[in-house]
Structure 1
Amino acid sequence: MAFINFVRDYERMARFRLGTFEGMMGPGIVFAIPIVHQIQKIDTRVTVLDIPRQTNITKDNAPIEIDFLVYLRVNIEHAHKAVLEVEDYTAAVVGLATTTLRAVVGEMDLDDVFSQRDKINEVLRSRLDGETERWGIKVTNVEIREIDPPREIQDAMNRQMSAERVRRAVVLEADGTRQAAITVAGGEKESAILKAEGARQAEILAAEGDQQAAVLRAQGFSDALQKIYDVAQNVDANTMTLQYVEALKEMAHGESTKWILPMELTKMLGGLGSINSAESGD
Protein backbone atom coordinates (compact mmCIF):
# COMPACT_ATOMS: atom_id res chain seq x y z
CA MET A 1 0.00 0.00 0.00
CA ALA A 2 1.43 3.36 -1.07
CA PHE A 3 1.32 6.41 1.12
CA ILE A 4 0.17 8.59 -1.80
CA ASN A 5 -2.50 7.20 -4.12
CA PHE A 6 -3.75 8.79 -7.34
CA VAL A 7 -7.43 8.21 -8.01
CA ARG A 8 -8.63 8.76 -11.58
CA ASP A 9 -11.92 10.41 -12.58
CA TYR A 10 -13.62 7.06 -13.24
CA GLU A 11 -12.38 5.57 -9.96
CA ARG A 12 -13.32 5.86 -6.30
CA MET A 13 -11.31 4.67 -3.31
CA ALA A 14 -12.84 3.32 -0.12
CA ARG A 15 -10.62 4.14 2.89
CA PHE A 16 -10.82 2.45 6.25
CA ARG A 17 -9.12 3.75 9.38
CA LEU A 18 -8.29 0.90 11.73
CA GLY A 19 -11.20 -1.02 10.20
CA THR A 20 -13.69 1.86 10.35
CA PHE A 21 -15.07 3.06 7.03
CA GLU A 22 -14.21 6.71 6.47
CA GLY A 23 -15.86 7.16 3.07
CA MET A 24 -15.22 7.08 -0.68
CA MET A 25 -12.25 9.20 -1.71
CA GLY A 26 -11.27 10.73 -5.05
CA PRO A 27 -10.72 11.64 -7.68
CA GLY A 28 -7.29 13.12 -7.06
CA ILE A 29 -4.65 12.36 -4.42
CA VAL A 30 -5.64 10.15 -1.51
CA PHE A 31 -3.28 9.63 1.40
CA ALA A 32 -3.16 6.29 3.16
CA ILE A 33 -0.92 5.66 6.15
CA PRO A 34 0.30 2.08 6.23
CA ILE A 35 -1.13 -0.07 9.07
CA VAL A 36 -3.52 2.75 10.02
CA HIS A 37 -5.47 2.87 6.73
CA GLN A 38 -6.80 0.19 4.47
CA ILE A 39 -7.97 1.13 0.92
CA GLN A 40 -9.96 -0.49 -1.88
CA LYS A 41 -10.36 0.95 -5.39
CA ILE A 42 -13.62 0.75 -7.32
CA ASP A 43 -13.84 1.20 -11.11
CA THR A 44 -17.09 3.00 -12.06
CA ARG A 45 -16.84 2.37 -15.81
CA VAL A 46 -19.16 -0.03 -17.60
CA THR A 47 -18.01 -3.62 -17.22
CA VAL A 48 -19.00 -6.52 -19.45
CA LEU A 49 -19.60 -9.90 -17.83
CA ASP A 50 -19.63 -12.98 -20.04
CA ILE A 51 -22.13 -15.36 -18.45
CA PRO A 52 -21.03 -18.96 -19.08
CA ARG A 53 -23.16 -21.16 -21.32
CA GLN A 54 -25.76 -23.07 -19.35
CA THR A 55 -28.65 -25.41 -20.02
CA ASN A 56 -32.16 -24.07 -19.39
CA ILE A 57 -35.50 -25.87 -19.53
CA THR A 58 -38.37 -24.11 -21.30
CA LYS A 59 -42.00 -24.22 -20.28
CA ASP A 60 -42.66 -27.03 -22.76
CA ASN A 61 -39.72 -29.05 -21.34
CA ALA A 62 -37.24 -28.37 -24.15
CA PRO A 63 -33.58 -28.13 -23.02
CA ILE A 64 -31.64 -25.29 -24.62
CA GLU A 65 -28.20 -23.81 -24.04
CA ILE A 66 -27.89 -20.03 -23.75
CA ASP A 67 -24.99 -17.70 -23.23
CA PHE A 68 -25.32 -13.95 -22.83
CA LEU A 69 -23.56 -10.76 -21.78
CA VAL A 70 -24.37 -8.42 -18.90
CA TYR A 71 -23.31 -4.77 -19.03
CA LEU A 72 -23.06 -3.09 -15.62
CA ARG A 73 -21.32 -0.31 -13.77
CA VAL A 74 -20.92 0.88 -10.19
CA ASN A 75 -23.13 3.85 -9.36
CA ILE A 76 -20.77 6.63 -8.26
CA GLU A 77 -23.26 8.04 -5.79
CA HIS A 78 -23.65 4.63 -4.13
CA ALA A 79 -20.18 3.23 -4.72
CA HIS A 80 -19.75 2.50 -1.01
CA LYS A 81 -22.44 -0.21 -1.25
CA ALA A 82 -20.26 -2.16 -3.69
CA VAL A 83 -17.67 -2.28 -0.91
CA LEU A 84 -19.78 -2.62 2.21
CA GLU A 85 -22.79 -4.66 1.00
CA VAL A 86 -21.17 -7.38 -1.11
CA GLU A 87 -17.79 -9.06 -1.01
CA ASP A 88 -17.40 -9.59 -4.76
CA TYR A 89 -20.12 -7.87 -6.75
CA THR A 90 -18.92 -9.38 -10.06
CA ALA A 91 -19.38 -12.96 -8.87
CA ALA A 92 -22.66 -11.98 -7.24
CA VAL A 93 -24.02 -10.56 -10.53
CA VAL A 94 -22.93 -13.68 -12.46
CA GLY A 95 -24.74 -15.99 -10.05
CA LEU A 96 -27.84 -13.80 -10.00
CA ALA A 97 -27.91 -13.57 -13.81
CA THR A 98 -27.72 -17.35 -14.12
CA THR A 99 -30.65 -18.05 -11.81
CA THR A 100 -32.71 -15.17 -13.29
CA LEU A 101 -32.25 -16.51 -16.82
CA ARG A 102 -33.46 -19.96 -15.75
CA ALA A 103 -36.54 -18.43 -14.20
CA VAL A 104 -37.35 -16.32 -17.27
CA VAL A 105 -36.82 -19.14 -19.79
CA GLY A 106 -38.86 -21.54 -17.63
CA GLU A 107 -41.86 -19.27 -18.12
CA MET A 108 -41.70 -19.37 -21.94
CA ASP A 109 -42.24 -21.93 -24.68
CA LEU A 110 -39.39 -22.88 -27.00
CA ASP A 111 -40.80 -20.95 -29.96
CA ASP A 112 -41.19 -17.83 -27.81
CA VAL A 113 -37.58 -18.10 -26.65
CA PHE A 114 -36.39 -17.89 -30.27
CA SER A 115 -38.88 -15.26 -31.43
CA GLN A 116 -38.82 -12.97 -28.37
CA ARG A 117 -35.13 -12.56 -27.73
CA ASP A 118 -35.43 -8.80 -27.23
CA LYS A 119 -38.17 -9.34 -24.67
CA ILE A 120 -35.96 -11.79 -22.74
CA ASN A 121 -33.10 -9.28 -22.78
CA GLU A 122 -35.30 -6.55 -21.34
CA VAL A 123 -36.83 -8.81 -18.67
CA LEU A 124 -33.39 -9.96 -17.57
CA ARG A 125 -32.06 -6.41 -17.44
CA SER A 126 -35.04 -5.19 -15.43
CA ARG A 127 -34.88 -8.03 -12.87
CA LEU A 128 -31.10 -7.87 -12.48
CA ASP A 129 -31.14 -4.10 -12.10
CA GLY A 130 -33.78 -4.36 -9.40
CA GLU A 131 -31.74 -6.94 -7.45
CA THR A 132 -28.31 -5.33 -7.82
CA GLU A 133 -29.48 -1.87 -6.80
CA ARG A 134 -28.88 -2.75 -3.16
CA TRP A 135 -25.21 -3.32 -4.03
CA GLY A 136 -24.84 0.04 -5.75
CA ILE A 137 -24.72 -1.70 -9.17
CA LYS A 138 -26.55 -0.45 -12.26
CA VAL A 139 -27.25 -3.05 -14.97
CA THR A 140 -27.40 -1.08 -18.22
CA ASN A 141 -27.98 -3.84 -20.78
CA VAL A 142 -28.31 -7.60 -21.33
CA GLU A 143 -27.63 -9.28 -24.67
CA ILE A 144 -28.24 -12.95 -25.49
CA ARG A 145 -25.48 -14.05 -27.85
CA GLU A 146 -26.52 -17.56 -28.81
CA ILE A 147 -29.32 -20.04 -28.23
CA ASP A 148 -28.54 -23.69 -29.04
CA PRO A 149 -31.27 -26.35 -28.85
CA PRO A 150 -30.42 -30.10 -28.92
CA ARG A 151 -29.80 -31.74 -32.29
CA GLU A 152 -33.19 -33.49 -32.47
CA ILE A 153 -35.01 -30.28 -31.66
CA GLN A 154 -32.95 -28.41 -34.25
CA ASP A 155 -33.83 -31.02 -36.88
CA ALA A 156 -37.51 -30.76 -36.02
CA MET A 157 -37.32 -26.98 -36.24
CA ASN A 158 -35.62 -27.21 -39.64
CA ARG A 159 -38.40 -29.48 -40.93
CA GLN A 160 -40.98 -27.11 -39.54
CA MET A 161 -39.28 -24.14 -41.20
CA SER A 162 -39.07 -26.03 -44.49
CA ALA A 163 -42.78 -26.88 -44.32
CA GLU A 164 -43.57 -23.27 -43.47
CA ARG A 165 -41.59 -22.03 -46.47
CA VAL A 166 -43.42 -24.47 -48.75
CA ARG A 167 -46.74 -23.31 -47.34
CA ARG A 168 -45.84 -19.67 -47.89
CA ALA A 169 -44.72 -20.43 -51.44
CA VAL A 170 -48.05 -22.13 -52.18
CA VAL A 171 -49.96 -19.23 -50.64
CA LEU A 172 -47.94 -16.68 -52.59
CA GLU A 173 -48.45 -18.62 -55.81
CA ALA A 174 -52.19 -18.81 -55.19
CA ASP A 175 -52.32 -15.12 -54.39
CA GLY A 176 -50.39 -14.37 -57.56
CA THR A 177 -52.80 -16.44 -59.66
CA ARG A 178 -55.77 -14.74 -58.03
CA GLN A 179 -54.31 -11.30 -58.57
CA ALA A 180 -53.56 -12.15 -62.20
CA ALA A 181 -57.14 -13.32 -62.74
CA ILE A 182 -58.46 -10.17 -61.10
CA THR A 183 -56.20 -8.03 -63.28
CA VAL A 184 -57.30 -9.81 -66.47
CA ALA A 185 -60.97 -9.54 -65.50
CA GLY A 186 -60.49 -5.88 -64.68
CA GLY A 187 -58.85 -5.28 -68.06
CA GLU A 188 -61.67 -7.04 -69.91
CA LYS A 189 -64.21 -5.05 -67.93
CA GLU A 190 -62.48 -1.77 -68.75
CA SER A 191 -62.25 -2.80 -72.41
CA ALA A 192 -65.97 -3.60 -72.56
CA ILE A 193 -66.81 -0.30 -70.89
CA LEU A 194 -64.63 1.60 -73.33
CA LYS A 195 -66.20 -0.20 -76.32
CA ALA A 196 -69.73 0.51 -75.04
CA GLU A 197 -68.82 4.12 -74.39
CA GLY A 198 -67.35 4.42 -77.89
CA ALA A 199 -70.50 2.95 -79.47
CA ARG A 200 -72.67 5.29 -77.45
CA GLN A 201 -70.62 8.30 -78.44
CA ALA A 202 -70.79 7.19 -82.10
CA GLU A 203 -74.58 6.91 -81.93
CA ILE A 204 -74.80 10.31 -80.26
CA LEU A 205 -72.61 11.88 -82.92
CA ALA A 206 -74.63 10.21 -85.73
CA ALA A 207 -77.89 11.42 -84.19
CA GLU A 208 -76.51 14.91 -83.79
CA GLY A 209 -75.36 14.83 -87.44
CA ASP A 210 -78.84 13.75 -88.61
CA GLN A 211 -80.40 16.43 -86.48
CA GLN A 212 -78.13 19.11 -87.84
CA ALA A 213 -78.76 17.92 -91.43
CA ALA A 214 -82.51 18.04 -90.88
CA VAL A 215 -82.22 21.50 -89.40
CA LEU A 216 -80.16 22.66 -92.36
CA ARG A 217 -82.66 21.18 -94.85
CA ALA A 218 -85.56 22.80 -93.06
CA GLN A 219 -83.66 26.08 -92.93
CA GLY A 220 -82.94 25.87 -96.68
CA PHE A 221 -86.59 25.13 -97.45
CA SER A 222 -87.66 28.01 -95.23
CA ASP A 223 -85.22 30.34 -96.97
CA ALA A 224 -86.53 29.23 -100.39
CA LEU A 225 -90.11 29.90 -99.38
CA GLN A 226 -89.10 33.25 -98.03
CA LYS A 227 -87.45 34.16 -101.34
CA ILE A 228 -90.52 33.02 -103.30
CA TYR A 229 -92.69 35.07 -101.07
CA ASP A 230 -90.45 38.08 -101.47
CA VAL A 231 -90.54 37.74 -105.26
CA ALA A 232 -94.34 37.26 -105.27
CA GLN A 233 -94.75 40.52 -103.34
CA ASN A 234 -93.24 42.38 -106.31
CA VAL A 235 -95.47 40.78 -109.01
CA ASP A 236 -98.30 43.14 -110.17
CA ALA A 237 -101.89 42.19 -111.13
CA ASN A 238 -101.25 42.36 -114.89
CA THR A 239 -98.48 39.80 -114.62
CA MET A 240 -100.73 37.52 -112.63
CA THR A 241 -103.49 37.93 -115.22
CA LEU A 242 -101.17 36.99 -118.02
CA GLN A 243 -100.18 33.92 -116.05
CA TYR A 244 -103.84 32.96 -115.72
CA VAL A 245 -104.32 33.46 -119.51
CA GLU A 246 -101.44 31.16 -120.22
CA ALA A 247 -103.02 28.67 -117.88
CA LEU A 248 -106.32 28.93 -119.81
CA LYS A 249 -104.52 28.26 -123.04
CA GLU A 250 -103.09 25.11 -121.63
CA MET A 251 -106.52 24.08 -120.41
CA ALA A 252 -108.01 24.66 -123.88
CA HIS A 253 -105.84 21.93 -125.29
CA GLY A 254 -107.35 19.45 -122.87
CA GLU A 255 -110.36 17.15 -123.33
CA SER A 256 -112.59 18.84 -120.72
CA THR A 257 -115.67 20.74 -121.98
CA LYS A 258 -116.58 22.38 -118.70
CA TRP A 259 -114.41 24.70 -116.71
CA ILE A 260 -114.99 26.30 -113.40
CA LEU A 261 -113.30 29.63 -113.20
CA PRO A 262 -112.75 31.46 -109.96
CA MET A 263 -114.27 34.92 -109.58
CA GLU A 264 -110.83 36.41 -109.18
CA LEU A 265 -110.07 35.23 -112.73
CA THR A 266 -113.12 37.05 -114.23
CA LYS A 267 -112.02 40.20 -112.49
CA MET A 268 -108.53 39.82 -113.86
CA LEU A 269 -109.95 39.19 -117.39
CA GLY A 270 -112.02 42.34 -117.08
CA GLY A 271 -108.94 44.21 -116.21
CA LEU A 272 -107.25 42.68 -119.23
CA GLY A 273 -110.06 44.03 -121.45
CA SER A 274 -109.48 47.46 -120.08
CA ILE A 275 -105.84 47.18 -120.91
CA ASN A 276 -106.69 46.15 -124.54
CA SER A 277 -109.11 49.04 -124.96
CA ALA A 278 -106.56 51.48 -123.74
CA GLU A 279 -104.01 50.11 -126.19
CA SER A 280 -106.59 50.35 -129.12
CA GLY A 281 -107.38 53.99 -128.35
CA ASP A 282 -103.77 54.77 -128.52
Structure 2
Amino acid sequence: MEAVVVLLVVAAVIGLIGLMSSVRVVKQYERGVVYRFGRVNRLPKEPGPRLLLPFVDRMTKVNMQVVTMPVPSQEGITRDNVSVRVDAVLYFRVVDPIRASVDVQNYQFAMLQVAQTSLRSIIGKSDLDDLLSGREKLHEGLELMLSTPATGWGVHIDRVEIKDVALPESMKRSMARQAEADRERRARIITADGELQASHKLSEAARTMDANPAALQLRMLQTVVEVAAEKNSTLVLPFPVELLRFFDRAGQGSGATAPAAPEAGKAPAADPEITAADEPAEVEGAGLTELPPPVSPLQIPDPRTSEE
Protein backbone atom coordinates (compact mmCIF):
# COMPACT_ATOMS: atom_id res chain seq x y z
CA MET A 1 0.00 0.00 0.00
CA GLU A 2 2.81 2.30 0.81
CA ALA A 3 4.40 1.60 -2.55
CA VAL A 4 1.22 2.62 -4.34
CA VAL A 5 1.13 5.90 -2.43
CA VAL A 6 4.74 6.57 -3.31
CA LEU A 7 4.05 5.92 -6.96
CA LEU A 8 1.08 8.28 -6.91
CA VAL A 9 3.14 11.02 -5.31
CA VAL A 10 5.90 10.56 -7.84
CA ALA A 11 3.42 10.68 -10.71
CA ALA A 12 1.83 13.82 -9.33
CA VAL A 13 5.21 15.50 -9.04
CA ILE A 14 6.15 14.48 -12.57
CA GLY A 15 2.79 15.73 -13.87
CA LEU A 16 3.17 19.00 -12.04
CA ILE A 17 6.65 19.49 -13.47
CA GLY A 18 5.40 18.64 -16.96
CA LEU A 19 2.49 21.04 -16.58
CA MET A 20 4.76 23.83 -15.44
CA SER A 21 7.14 23.20 -18.31
CA SER A 22 4.28 23.22 -20.83
CA VAL A 23 2.96 26.63 -19.76
CA ARG A 24 4.55 29.60 -21.51
CA VAL A 25 3.84 33.31 -21.08
CA VAL A 26 4.04 35.47 -24.20
CA LYS A 27 4.63 39.18 -23.52
CA GLN A 28 2.73 41.96 -25.21
CA TYR A 29 5.59 42.91 -27.54
CA GLU A 30 6.32 39.29 -28.50
CA ARG A 31 4.81 36.57 -30.65
CA GLY A 32 5.30 32.84 -30.12
CA VAL A 33 6.26 30.55 -32.99
CA VAL A 34 5.35 26.94 -32.08
CA TYR A 35 7.11 23.90 -33.56
CA ARG A 36 5.31 20.55 -33.14
CA PHE A 37 7.60 17.65 -33.95
CA GLY A 38 9.70 20.13 -35.93
CA ARG A 39 6.76 21.38 -38.00
CA VAL A 40 5.89 25.07 -37.56
CA ASN A 41 2.40 26.09 -36.63
CA ARG A 42 1.14 28.70 -39.09
CA LEU A 43 -0.68 30.64 -36.38
CA PRO A 44 1.71 32.37 -33.98
CA LYS A 45 0.76 32.55 -30.31
CA GLU A 46 -0.70 35.82 -29.14
CA PRO A 47 0.35 37.56 -25.88
CA GLY A 48 -0.72 35.85 -22.64
CA PRO A 49 -0.28 32.41 -20.99
CA ARG A 50 -0.10 29.58 -23.51
CA LEU A 51 -0.26 25.84 -22.89
CA LEU A 52 1.97 23.55 -24.91
CA LEU A 53 2.01 19.80 -25.16
CA PRO A 54 4.83 18.47 -23.02
CA PHE A 55 7.73 16.89 -24.90
CA VAL A 56 5.93 17.65 -28.19
CA ASP A 57 5.80 21.41 -28.74
CA ARG A 58 8.69 23.87 -28.79
CA MET A 59 8.09 27.61 -28.89
CA THR A 60 10.39 30.44 -30.02
CA LYS A 61 9.58 34.03 -29.06
CA VAL A 62 10.05 36.78 -31.62
CA ASN A 63 10.38 40.43 -30.60
CA MET A 64 7.99 42.69 -32.48
CA GLN A 65 9.44 46.00 -31.26
CA VAL A 66 11.21 48.53 -33.45
CA VAL A 67 14.90 47.73 -33.52
CA THR A 68 17.41 50.59 -33.67
CA MET A 69 20.55 49.31 -35.34
CA PRO A 70 23.62 51.51 -35.89
CA VAL A 71 25.40 50.80 -39.15
CA PRO A 72 29.22 50.93 -38.76
CA SER A 73 31.19 53.55 -40.68
CA GLN A 74 31.86 52.61 -44.27
CA GLU A 75 34.69 54.06 -46.35
CA GLY A 76 34.07 54.80 -49.97
CA ILE A 77 34.82 57.10 -52.89
CA THR A 78 32.04 59.30 -54.17
CA ARG A 79 31.20 59.81 -57.80
CA ASP A 80 33.28 63.03 -57.86
CA ASN A 81 36.35 61.15 -56.48
CA VAL A 82 36.27 62.22 -52.83
CA SER A 83 37.08 59.65 -50.13
CA VAL A 84 34.63 59.78 -47.22
CA ARG A 85 33.53 57.77 -44.19
CA VAL A 86 29.79 57.49 -43.72
CA ASP A 87 27.81 55.87 -40.92
CA ALA A 88 24.06 55.47 -40.68
CA VAL A 89 21.29 54.21 -38.42
CA LEU A 90 18.56 51.72 -39.34
CA TYR A 91 15.07 51.39 -37.82
CA PHE A 92 13.11 48.21 -38.57
CA ARG A 93 10.62 45.81 -36.99
CA VAL A 94 9.31 42.32 -37.57
CA VAL A 95 5.84 42.09 -39.13
CA ASP A 96 5.79 38.34 -39.89
CA PRO A 97 7.32 36.29 -37.05
CA ILE A 98 6.98 33.04 -39.02
CA ARG A 99 9.18 34.25 -41.87
CA ALA A 100 11.62 35.99 -39.52
CA SER A 101 12.14 32.65 -37.73
CA VAL A 102 11.99 30.18 -40.63
CA ASP A 103 13.17 31.97 -43.77
CA VAL A 104 16.34 33.53 -42.30
CA GLN A 105 18.71 32.21 -39.67
CA ASN A 106 19.35 35.52 -37.87
CA TYR A 107 17.36 38.41 -39.28
CA GLN A 108 19.16 41.07 -37.26
CA PHE A 109 22.60 40.02 -38.50
CA ALA A 110 21.23 39.75 -42.03
CA MET A 111 19.79 43.26 -41.88
CA LEU A 112 23.11 44.60 -40.60
CA GLN A 113 25.03 43.10 -43.50
CA VAL A 114 22.54 44.31 -46.08
CA ALA A 115 22.66 47.82 -44.58
CA GLN A 116 26.45 47.95 -44.83
CA THR A 117 26.56 46.83 -48.45
CA SER A 118 23.74 49.20 -49.41
CA LEU A 119 25.50 52.11 -47.71
CA ARG A 120 28.73 51.45 -49.62
CA SER A 121 26.77 51.21 -52.85
CA ILE A 122 24.94 54.49 -52.24
CA ILE A 123 28.25 56.26 -51.50
CA GLY A 124 29.69 55.28 -54.87
CA LYS A 125 26.59 56.49 -56.71
CA SER A 126 26.37 59.91 -55.01
CA ASP A 127 28.28 63.18 -55.13
CA LEU A 128 29.78 64.88 -52.11
CA ASP A 129 27.18 67.66 -52.24
CA ASP A 130 24.39 65.06 -52.09
CA LEU A 131 25.93 63.45 -49.00
CA LEU A 132 26.19 66.82 -47.26
CA SER A 133 22.99 68.62 -48.27
CA GLY A 134 20.73 66.31 -50.32
CA ARG A 135 20.33 63.43 -47.88
CA GLU A 136 16.56 63.04 -48.29
CA LYS A 137 16.96 61.37 -51.68
CA LEU A 138 19.76 59.18 -50.33
CA HIS A 139 17.55 58.06 -47.45
CA GLU A 140 14.82 57.10 -49.88
CA GLY A 141 17.31 55.18 -52.01
CA LEU A 142 18.70 53.30 -48.99
CA GLU A 143 15.21 52.41 -47.81
CA LEU A 144 14.32 51.06 -51.25
CA MET A 145 17.51 48.99 -51.42
CA LEU A 146 16.88 47.50 -47.97
CA SER A 147 13.16 46.87 -48.45
CA THR A 148 13.70 44.39 -51.30
CA PRO A 149 15.35 41.61 -49.23
CA ALA A 150 13.65 42.59 -45.97
CA THR A 151 10.17 41.94 -47.33
CA GLY A 152 11.00 38.27 -47.92
CA TRP A 153 12.27 37.99 -44.33
CA GLY A 154 9.12 39.39 -42.73
CA VAL A 155 10.85 42.64 -41.75
CA HIS A 156 9.55 46.15 -42.38
CA ILE A 157 12.00 49.05 -42.78
CA ASP A 158 10.68 52.09 -40.92
CA ARG A 159 13.51 54.55 -41.51
CA VAL A 160 17.11 54.79 -42.71
CA GLU A 161 19.21 57.88 -42.05
CA ILE A 162 22.81 58.86 -42.69
CA LYS A 163 24.17 59.93 -39.32
CA ASP A 164 27.57 61.44 -40.09
CA VAL A 165 29.91 62.09 -43.01
CA ALA A 166 33.63 62.29 -42.16
CA LEU A 167 35.80 64.21 -44.64
CA PRO A 168 39.60 64.42 -44.92
CA GLU A 169 41.26 67.49 -43.42
CA SER A 170 42.48 68.69 -46.81
CA MET A 171 38.94 68.58 -48.16
CA LYS A 172 37.68 70.53 -45.13
CA ARG A 173 40.26 73.26 -45.74
CA SER A 174 39.37 73.41 -49.44
CA MET A 175 35.68 73.73 -48.64
CA ALA A 176 36.43 76.47 -46.11
CA ARG A 177 38.40 78.44 -48.72
CA GLN A 178 35.62 77.95 -51.24
CA ALA A 179 33.00 79.21 -48.78
CA GLU A 180 35.15 82.23 -47.93
CA ALA A 181 35.65 83.07 -51.60
CA ASP A 182 31.92 82.75 -52.22
CA ARG A 183 31.11 85.09 -49.33
CA GLU A 184 33.65 87.61 -50.62
CA ARG A 185 32.15 87.40 -54.10
CA ARG A 186 28.65 88.06 -52.75
CA ALA A 187 29.95 90.98 -50.67
CA ARG A 188 31.54 92.56 -53.74
CA ILE A 189 28.37 92.07 -55.78
CA ILE A 190 26.27 93.68 -53.05
CA THR A 191 28.71 96.62 -52.81
CA ALA A 192 28.70 97.12 -56.58
CA ASP A 193 24.91 96.94 -56.66
CA GLY A 194 24.74 99.57 -53.93
CA GLU A 195 27.08 101.86 -55.84
CA LEU A 196 25.00 101.40 -58.99
CA GLN A 197 21.79 102.34 -57.17
CA ALA A 198 23.54 105.30 -55.54
CA SER A 199 24.78 106.52 -58.94
CA HIS A 200 21.23 106.40 -60.29
CA LYS A 201 19.96 108.42 -57.35
CA LEU A 202 22.81 110.91 -57.65
CA SER A 203 22.12 111.37 -61.36
CA GLU A 204 18.45 112.06 -60.59
CA ALA A 205 19.48 114.54 -57.91
CA ALA A 206 21.86 116.25 -60.34
CA ARG A 207 19.08 116.63 -62.91
CA THR A 208 16.79 118.09 -60.25
CA MET A 209 19.43 120.58 -59.11
CA ASP A 210 20.16 121.51 -62.71
CA ALA A 211 16.51 122.39 -63.23
CA ASN A 212 16.43 124.34 -59.92
CA PRO A 213 19.73 126.19 -59.31
CA ALA A 214 18.56 127.26 -55.87
CA ALA A 215 18.60 123.62 -54.78
CA LEU A 216 22.40 123.51 -55.18
CA GLN A 217 22.78 126.54 -52.92
CA LEU A 218 20.47 124.94 -50.31
CA ARG A 219 22.46 121.72 -50.49
CA MET A 220 25.68 123.64 -49.93
CA LEU A 221 24.20 125.39 -46.89
CA GLN A 222 22.99 122.07 -45.53
CA THR A 223 26.49 120.63 -45.90
CA VAL A 224 27.93 123.62 -44.03
CA VAL A 225 25.43 123.07 -41.20
CA GLU A 226 26.33 119.37 -40.97
CA VAL A 227 30.06 120.12 -40.85
CA ALA A 228 29.62 122.92 -38.31
CA ALA A 229 27.61 120.62 -36.01
CA GLU A 230 30.73 118.50 -35.36
CA LYS A 231 32.45 121.43 -33.55
CA ASN A 232 35.48 121.34 -35.81
CA SER A 233 38.13 124.04 -35.74
CA THR A 234 38.36 124.05 -39.55
CA LEU A 235 35.40 124.71 -41.78
CA VAL A 236 35.61 123.66 -45.42
CA LEU A 237 33.35 125.78 -47.58
CA PRO A 238 32.67 124.46 -51.09
CA PHE A 239 33.15 126.98 -53.88
CA PRO A 240 30.48 126.94 -56.61
CA VAL A 241 31.79 125.88 -59.99
CA GLU A 242 29.36 128.25 -61.72
CA LEU A 243 31.15 131.22 -60.15
CA LEU A 244 34.47 130.04 -61.57
CA ARG A 245 32.88 129.72 -64.99
CA PHE A 246 31.55 133.29 -64.67
CA PHE A 247 35.02 134.66 -63.91
CA ASP A 248 36.46 132.65 -66.77
CA ARG A 249 33.98 134.11 -69.27
CA ALA A 250 34.56 137.61 -67.90
CA GLY A 251 38.33 137.26 -68.29
CA GLN A 252 38.01 136.05 -71.85
CA GLY A 253 35.71 139.02 -72.72
CA SER A 254 38.06 141.69 -71.29
CA GLY A 255 41.20 140.24 -72.92
CA ALA A 256 39.79 140.47 -76.49
CA THR A 257 40.33 144.04 -77.99
CA ALA A 258 37.85 145.43 -80.50
CA PRO A 259 39.25 146.92 -83.78
CA ALA A 260 39.44 150.79 -83.78
CA ALA A 261 37.15 152.68 -86.16
CA PRO A 262 38.95 154.58 -89.00
CA GLU A 263 39.11 158.37 -88.71
CA ALA A 264 37.47 160.63 -91.24
CA GLY A 265 39.65 161.40 -94.26
CA LYS A 266 42.01 158.49 -93.63
CA ALA A 267 42.07 155.13 -95.29
CA PRO A 268 41.64 152.11 -93.11
CA ALA A 269 44.76 150.33 -91.98
CA ALA A 270 45.78 147.32 -93.91
CA ASP A 271 45.51 143.86 -92.47
CA PRO A 272 48.63 142.94 -90.45
CA GLU A 273 48.82 139.51 -92.00
CA ILE A 274 48.66 140.90 -95.55
CA THR A 275 51.19 143.63 -94.69
CA ALA A 276 53.54 141.10 -93.22
CA ALA A 277 53.29 139.07 -96.38
CA ASP A 278 54.10 142.13 -98.60
CA GLU A 279 57.10 144.44 -98.36
CA PRO A 280 57.54 146.24 -94.99
CA ALA A 281 55.70 149.57 -94.77
CA GLU A 282 57.54 152.83 -94.00
CA VAL A 283 56.17 155.27 -91.48
CA GLU A 284 57.36 158.82 -92.15
CA GLY A 285 57.38 161.68 -89.65
CA ALA A 286 56.72 159.38 -86.67
CA GLY A 287 60.34 158.72 -85.80
CA LEU A 288 59.93 154.99 -86.36
CA THR A 289 62.47 152.90 -88.15
CA GLU A 290 61.72 150.38 -90.80
CA LEU A 291 59.93 147.28 -89.51
CA PRO A 292 61.97 144.09 -89.78
CA PRO A 293 60.79 141.45 -92.25
CA PRO A 294 58.58 138.67 -90.89
CA VAL A 295 60.49 135.90 -89.18
CA SER A 296 59.98 132.43 -90.47
CA PRO A 297 59.05 129.89 -87.79
CA LEU A 298 62.12 127.90 -88.71
CA GLN A 299 64.57 130.85 -88.63
CA ILE A 300 65.92 132.69 -85.58
CA PRO A 301 66.82 136.43 -86.20
CA ASP A 302 70.32 137.63 -85.47
CA PRO A 303 70.36 140.04 -82.51
CA ARG A 304 73.14 142.15 -84.11
CA THR A 305 70.98 142.84 -87.16
CA SER A 306 68.11 144.00 -84.92
CA GLU A 307 70.40 146.48 -83.13
CA GLU A 308 71.56 148.01 -86.46
Shift of 1:168: 2.0
CA deviations over 1:48-95 (Å, ceiling 9, x no partner): 1111112122112221011111111111xx221111111111111111
Q: Measure the CA separation in 2 of the matches of 1:181 and 1:64.
A: 49
Query: The residue matched to 1:9 in structure 2 has which SS?
Result: coil
- Offset, 1:187: 7.2
5+ residue gaps, structure 2, are 1-19, 212-308
Match of 2:153, as an amino acid?
Answer: W
Q: How does 1:122-133 map to 2 (within 5 A)?
A: 122-133=140-151
Give distance in 2, aligned partners of 1:130 and 1:92.
13
Identity, in percent, stands at 32
- Kindly indicate whether structure 1 or structure 2 has the higher relative contact order, using CA contacts under 8 Å at least 6 residues apart: 1
Give 3-state SS (helix, strand or coil) of 1:25's partner.
Answer: coil
Runs of 4+ with >6 A deviation: 186-193
**Cα RMSD (Å) of the superposition?**
2.7
Distance 2:111 2:63 in 1: 16
- Select which of 41, 49, 55 maps to 2:69: 49
Secondary structure of residue in 2 paired with 1:108: coil
Q: 1:157 to 1:38 in 2, by over 3 A?
A: same
TM-score (norm 1): 0.61
| Match among 34, 39, 61 for residue 81 of structure 2 | 61
Matches within 5 A, 1:99-178: 99-178=117-196
Q: Which runs of 5+ in 1 are unaligned?
A: 194-282
Other-structure match for 1:87: 105
Structure showing the higher helix proportion among its residues: 1
Larger Rg: 1
For residues 87 and 183 of structure 1, what CA distance do their matches in structure 2 show? 78
Choose the corresponding residue for 2:60, options 40, 49, 61: 40
The structure-2 alpha-carbon separation of the partners of 1:164 and 1:80, relative to structure 1 and needing over 3 Å to count, comes to same
Which amino acid in 2 is paired with 1:109? D
Number of equivalent positions:
193
The residue number in structure 1 matching 2:249 is none
CA distance in 2, matches of 1:7, 1:33: 16
Tell me the equivalent position of 1:28. Answer: 48
Aligned CA distance change for structure 1 residues 107 and 191 (closer, same or farther; 3 Å): farther
Report the Cα distance in structure 1 between the residues aligned to 2:29 and 2:208, rounded to whole angstroms.
Answer: 74
Aligned in 2, Cα 1:2/1:178: closer, same or farther, shift over 3 Å? farther
Residue identity opposite 2:72 in structure 1: P
User: Alpha-carbon deviation of 1:178?
Assistant: 3.2
Alpha-carbon distance in 1 for matches of 2:27, 2:153: 22
In structure 1, the partner of 2:220 is none
Query: How far off its partner does 1:112 sit?
Result: 2.5
The offset of 1:31, in angstroms, is: 2.1
